Copies of this chain bind each other. A is one copy, B any other.
Amino acid sequence: MHTETHADSARYVAGLAKLREIDGDAGEQVIEALKDIAPDLARYVIEFPFGDIYQRPGLDLRLREVATVAALTAMGHAQPQLKVHIHGALNVGCTRTEIVELIMQMAVYAGFPAALNGMFAAKEVFRERDGRGTPE
């Protein structure tokens, strides 16, 4: 059975900081929404993706977010997470043009419907950011 340990806390603390850096409010809302039903899934989201994977050297955050937005667009069944990571990509330095280009490119690999639905997700994200005056 799992017992929380000091080093878990270290992964958790580093992961939470990284989640905030990348996903901002959107990431924390996901964590918050899990609190009553599956707090341990919230903890794993922080510890494994953000505490382990996104901490790794070897691929910078901008490329990591490019990879994630591409994958979520292509898979097509995870629109809420796609929106979170379009925010994330912009937060870590991708430009709107880059986001548009990479979603467009998914038409080649996953078909036009996946690219269209990804583009409409980007449109919503850009509008949200315009609404609150977020640069880019």
Contact = CB atoms under 8 A, between A and B. Distances in A.
B111 A110 contact: yes
A11 to B, nearest CB: 8
A26 interface: no
Interface string A1-19: 1100111101000000000
Contact of A53 (B36, B64, B105): B105
A91 interface: no
Given A1-B55, A2-B52, A67-B102, A126 B74 contact: no
Interface of A: 1-2, 5-8, 10, 30, 33-34, 36-38, 40-41, 44-45, 48-49, 52-53, 55-59, 63-64, 66-78, 80-81, 97-98, 100-117, 119-120, 122-123, 126
